[in-house]
Chain A
Amino acid sequence: MSDRRLAIGPDAIDLAELVRVVSAKDPGSHGAIVTFVGTVRGENKGRRVTRLEYEAYEPLALRAFSIISDEVSEHWPSARVAFHHRTGSLAVGDTSVAIAAASPHRAEAFSACRYVIERLKQVAPVWKHEFFEGGEAWIEGATADPHDASAREEAYRRSCV
């Protein structure tokens, strides 16, 4: 896609690109850029994780990303966000997701960044297939429903601590 603000796929994530994307438009207007990098943890529920395979329904994931980005604009009109999620087989320590949020002041940038990761975990059609010492398991979290107002409210509440 031409707009590199929102992306999902097998390519390694370039955090610097995300920062460039959020700061490119009217650079002087942003006084804060907050970034989040999610990485593959080597331990989960007492299991020693050896790798994660991320599967996604990519066209629907882009739709979800666009919904999340629109929600950010509603909550924090001055914030601009960019985020990428990776798919495929990732080793412990690899980056699976990265977010950049820019805004005139730091509070909105922190909140917008946190909101994106909370909503992404709620609604993005992405699944972790965990491989650990002694077995493998699909990880299942939230039932994805962008129209669930209580989930959206919970994400907003967590973002405004």
Chain B
Amino acid sequence: MRVTIRLFGRLQDLAGASVLEREIEAPATAAGVWQALAAEHPAIAPYAQSVSVAVNADFARMTARLEEGDEVAFLPPVSGG
């Protein structure tokens, strides 16, 4: 199934893209997408402990199950204000 991956902050610099489309095996979780992405772009791997995740623009857990067409976003530690 196809998912859209969005990266923010320094993650997009490290991966060289802010939006990626990927074909993944179902069933899939956000964690699985992260691991595949980190294998593709090892520079993002150190963020495994500090990244947070959103699915379809709502806060989610890494264990969240993904559906066809979902948008999964990986967020490095935030710095608004």
Minimum C-beta distance from A73 to chain B (A): 19
A122 CB contacts on chain B under 8 angstroms: 78
Q: Which of A11-19, A27-35, A140-148 contacts B (4 or more CB under 8 A)?
A: A140-148
In contact, B78 and A126 (Cβ under 8 angstroms): yes
In B18-74, the 8 Å CB interface with A consists of 50-52, 54, 57-59, 73
Number of A-B residue pairs at CB separation under 8 A: 91
- The CA of A141 and the CA of B78, in the complex, are separated in Å by 5
In contact, A56 and B80 (Cβ under 8 angstroms): yes
Which residue on chain A has the smallest CB distance to residue B56?
A59
In contact, B77 and A142 (Cβ under 8 angstroms): yes
B77 CB contacts on chain A under 8 angstroms: 140-144
In contact, A97 and B78 (Cβ under 8 angstroms): no
B9: interface (CB < 8 Å): yes
In contact, A138 and B9 (Cβ under 8 angstroms): yes
A115: interface (CB < 8 Å): no
- The CA of A128 and the CA of B58, in the complex, are separated in Å by 21
A155: interface (CB < 8 Å): no
A161: interface (CB < 8 Å): no
Minimum C-beta distance from A120 to chain B (A): 6
- In this complex, the interface size class of chain A, counting residues with CB under 8 Å from chain B, is 20 to 34
Residue among B8, B58, B73 with most chain A CB within 10 A: B8
8 Å CB contact of B79 from A117, A128, A147: A128
Minimum C-beta distance from B62 to chain A (A): 11
8 Å CB contact of A121 from B8, B50, B52, B80: B80
A128 CB contacts on chain B under 8 angstroms: 79-80
In contact, A55 and B9 (Cβ under 8 angstroms): yes
In contact, A63 and B9 (Cβ under 8 angstroms): no
Q: List 27 A-B contacts (CB under 8 A).
A: A55-B8, A57-B8, A57-B57, A57-B75, A59-B57, A60-B57, A60-B59, A60-B75, A63-B58, A64-B59, A97-B81, A120-B80, A121-B78, A123-B78, A124-B78, A125-B54, A125-B73, A127-B79, A128-B80, A129-B9, A139-B79, A140-B77, A140-B78, A144-B52, A144-B59, A145-B52, A147-B59
**Which B positions have Cβ atoms within 8 angstroms of A?**
6, 8-10, 13, 50-52, 54, 57-59, 73, 75-81
**Which A positions have Cβ atoms within 8 angstroms of B?**
38, 54-57, 59-61, 63-64, 85, 96-97, 117, 120-129, 138-147
